[in-house]
Amino acid sequence: MTSQALTIVFSISLVLSGVMITGDEEPAAFRDLFNGKDLTGWVDVNTSEETWSVRDGLLVCTGLPIGVMRSTEQFENFILHIEWRHMEAGGNSGVFAWSEGTVPEGRRLPKGMEVQMLELDWVNQHKNKEGVAAPIAYVHGELFGANGLETIPDNPRGSRSKSIENRCKGKGEWNVYDVVCVDGVVKLSVNGKFVNGVRKSSVKKGYLCLESEGAEIHFRNIRILELPPGIITPQEQAPLLDGSK
């Protein structure tokens, strides 16, 4: 087991045992990133006022226009819990970790570590020129660096990492992602089992972004548990944006 993997296992074990790992008087604990009432804690980057709303305690994204909204805070080492469901067959979305929280000129999505959220019919709706569908693993939580962020995939599909077990649920059903991000390593649990990962991310601290990409998607129970920081260089941290921390 690599030293980075050992760091992740040790951090999770401390969390589960209730040991203080932040240096504060209270044990580390999850806190909400979405309050179920409004968009406090989030900033629109390049979508619209109509793209994101709160309905019956859920965060609702229309999917249009394509783009993201970002967290007001940057995060380094953490465990992110997020629940999501697509409302349209073949829907596309995702959450970005360690993102710059801005969109490069000529693009619609930011630089960052993307944890993909695809509805199961996506592979059938987007066959290649020869009429061949992408591997079914494509829709079960791929991980990849977007727009310049580099990683080494655990389960390679080119530069991307694919889940080793198909666990996502389809249209209208809730999926649960637990994303562990520590020292450039990302491990993804899909509906209760860790099935994917990447390592040696070129960026280790940045913003979270939620993605709008063409179809309605709902989010709930977005929570984060922050872990102790590591040692990073200025090049490994996303630039700090105005009005954020």
Q: Over the stretch 54-106, which tens digit does the pLDDT of each residue have?
A: 999 999 999 999 999 999 999 999 999 999 999 999 999 999 999 999 998 88
Decide if 117 contacts 95 (C-beta within 8 A): yes
> Which residues have C-beta within 8 Å of that of residue 130, sequence separation ≥ 6?
none
Closest listed residue to residue 83, CA positions, set 113, 119, 58, 53: 58
pLDDT in tens, 117-129: 999 999 999 999 9
The sign one gets for the Cα dihedral 47, 58, 53, 69 is negative
Six-digit token pair at 85?
């469901």
pLDDT higher than 90, residue 23: no
**pLDDT at 104 (0 to 100):** 85
Complete domains list, the chain, with CATH: 3-236 (2.60.120.560)
Dist CA 29 CA 175 (whole Å) = 22
- Four-point Cα dihedral 104, 81, 77, 29, nearest 10: 140
Query: Is the model more confident about 209 or about 243?
Result: 209
Mean residue pLDDT across the chain: 92
To which residue do tokens 């203080």 refer? 20
* Percentage above 90 pLDDT, the chain: 83
* Percentage above 70 pLDDT, the chain: 89
Q: pTM here?
A: 0.90
